[in-house]
Amino acid sequence: MLTNPLTKNITGKNIAADIASYLANDGYAGWRKALTMEPNNIVTLVKDGGLRGRGGAGFNTGLKWSFVPHGEDAPKQKFIVCNADEMEPGTFKDRLLMERDPHLLLEGMAIAAYAIGASIGYIFIRGEYHLAAERLELAINEAKSQGLLGINILDSGFSLDIFIHRSAGNYICGEETALLNALEGRRAIPRAKPPFPQVSGLWGKPTVVNNVETFCNIPHLVALGIDWYRGLGLEQDAGSKIFGVSGKVKNPGAWELPMGTPIREIIEQHAGGMRDGLRLKGFLPGGGSTDFLGPDHLDLPMDYDVIGKAGSRMGTGTIIVLDDKTCPVGLVLNLSQFFARESCGWCTPCRDGLPWIVKVLQRIEDGEGLPEDLDLLREQCQRIGPGKTFCALAPGAAEPLQSALKLFEQDFIDHITNRCCPYK
């Protein structure tokens, strides 16, 4: 049974799978099968297969597609958009897929486009991902030469063009409606919802936006079926996932593993454990905008609902490890500086609140903090929390800070009491 559908074409060498090698390894089998199916049956298959979005939210992918209007009154023009603006701190899984197996992404996008009736697709890619963009451009041309993209694909009557759009930058472009604004050539700020993009998205037309890894799950799900896909997962969530670890571990990197793989296995077995002389103090389970968990959470499975019940989010599934010799105040300050810089400035709590948090954290780190600063930070986390801002950027930025104030409160107190950073 195939257990590594996402990485089966990725070898140890830094080369991309070309069209010949991709086809030789059952490439585009899912696409060929999809073209023999009714589009609504593909939507149902993906929904029942349990594929949840791999960009961080974990929403059911097929259910998301089902919101696209169909019928005589529905707009004829629809779009499929890939969110490849991978700027979440500590996250590097999508880059691996795009650089090493670009045809897998194209195949997933093609199936999704056919399922919702889209004739144009865009890959909105992070501007710094030059190699990934070049390899995707080459893969698009290769697929067209084989009749797998373009006009009247494989004599099916279905046509699809996919284009690369290089982002001008900013973390906010990872929010799907800000991404659509940027794709239209406008300021990258979030849109009010509803209407949701599935009804009124790119240029007011029905649009589905999915993450790179999400699309890459689709070809094998269609080709091999629901039972196979659900059988890959170890817990409630289906399929496999690319998990990553960064920080002071012996073997930082990314690995395709079953959904529900225990955190301890990811960190200690695949990442090699902590470097000699260091002890695990805590970790962010899903990138820089998730809540810290502690060593007592190591045996939890990496499953969306399980991590949610533990008080954090699985997010992108890329773990950032904090060791006992690294200052948690400095780490949170670093993340807060990033989020403050990347705010689009559209709403006041984010635009003004995040720089204010940076200012308070900086004075604590510099040994100039006051005891009341901790209450101020907690209050500010509430002020930029869910429901208080226009999008999820500021609430996500608050997560590492609010959890650090709980798990590592003594470190903050020591900074204030000793008038210096104890880790320097």
Per-residue pLDDT of the chain (424 residues), as tens digits, is 899 999 999 988 888 889 999 999 999 999 999 999 999 999 999 999 999 999 888 899 999 999 999 988 899 999 999 999 999 999 999 999 999 999 999 999 999 999 999 999 999 999 999 999 999 999 999 999 999 999 999 999 999 999 999 998 889 999 999 999 999 999 999 999 999 999 999 999 999 999 999 999 999 999 999 999 999 999 899 999 999 999 999 999 999 999 999 999 999 999 999 999 999 999 999 999 999 999 999 999 999 999 999 999 999 999 999 999 999 999 999 999 999 999 999 999 999 999 999 999 999 999 999 999 999 999 999 999 998 999 999 999 999 999 999 999 999 999 999 999 999 8
pLDDT at 135: 97
**Backbone torsions φ then ψ of 226, nearest 5 degrees:** -65, -45
Report the half-sphere exposure of 126 (CA within 13 A, side-chain side): 22
Residue with tokens 């700027």: 87
Describe the crossing of helices 393-407 and 348-365 by its angle, rounded to 10 degrees: 30
What CA–CA distances, in Å, run from 394 to 170, 374, 399?
A: 14, 18, 9
The torsion angle over the Cα atoms of residues 256, 262, 267 and 273, rounded to 10 degrees, is -130
Task: Name the amino acid, one letter, at 370.
Answer: L
Query: Around Cβ 293, how many Cβ atoms within 10 Å?
Result: 21
| 212-224 vs 39-49: helix crossing angle, rounded to 10 | 100
Bridge partners for 283 per DSSP: 293, 321
Tell me the Ramachandran region of residue 328: left when phi exceeds 0, alpha when psi lies from -120 to 50, beta otherwise: alpha
pTM score of the predicted model: 0.96
Q: How many angstroms separate the CA atoms of 352 and 393, rounded? A: 13
Please, is 47 exposed, middle or buried when counting C-beta atoms within 10 Å of its C-beta (0-12, 13-18, 19+)?
middle
The tokens describing 341, both together, are: 């810089």
DSSP code of residue 303: -
* Pairwise CA distance, residues 339 & 158, whole Å: 42
Question: Angle at CA 35, nearest 5°, toward 109 and 1?
Answer: 75
Residues of the chain with CATH 3.40.50.11540: 19-232
The distance of Cα 161 from the centroid of its chain, to the nearest Å, equals 24
The continuous run of DSSP H or E covering 338 comes out as helix 328-342
CATH number of 240-323: 3.10.20.600
Count of CB atoms situated within 10 Å of the CB of 225: 14
- The SS3 assignment for 236 reads coil
Supply the DSSP string of 50-100, one letter for each residue.
Answer: T-B-TTTT--BHHHHHHTS--STTS-S--EEEEEE---STT--HHHHHHHH
Dihedral through CA 117, CA 123, CA 124, CA 127, nearest 10? -170
**C-alpha to C-alpha distance for 9 and 32, rounded to whole angstroms:** 19
Q: What CATH number matches the domain at 19-232, 3.40.50.11540, 3.40.50.620, 3.90.1150.10, 3.40.190.10?
A: 3.40.50.11540
> What does residue 80 show for φ and ψ, rounded to 5 degrees?
-115, 130
Sign of CA dihedral 258, 261, 267, 269: negative
Q: Which two tokens mark 144? A: 């067209």
| Residue extent(s) of CATH 1.20.1440.230 domains in the chain | 328-418
Architecture of domain 328-418: Up-down Bundle (1.20)
Place of tokens 């589009």: 39
φ and ψ of 104, to 5 deg: -65, -40
- From-to residues of CATH 3.10.20.600 in the chain: 240-323
In the sheet that holds 280-284, the strands lie side by side as 253-258, 240-246, 318-323, 280-284
- Copy the structure tokens of residue 18: 């070309």
* CA separation, residue 284 to residues 63, 198, 287, 288, 340 (Å): 28, 31, 6, 7, 19
Percent helix, strand and coil across the chain, each to the nearest 5? 45, 15, 40
CA–CA distance, 109 with 114 (Å, rounded to integer): 9
pLDDT of residue 244: 97
Rg (CA), the chain: 22
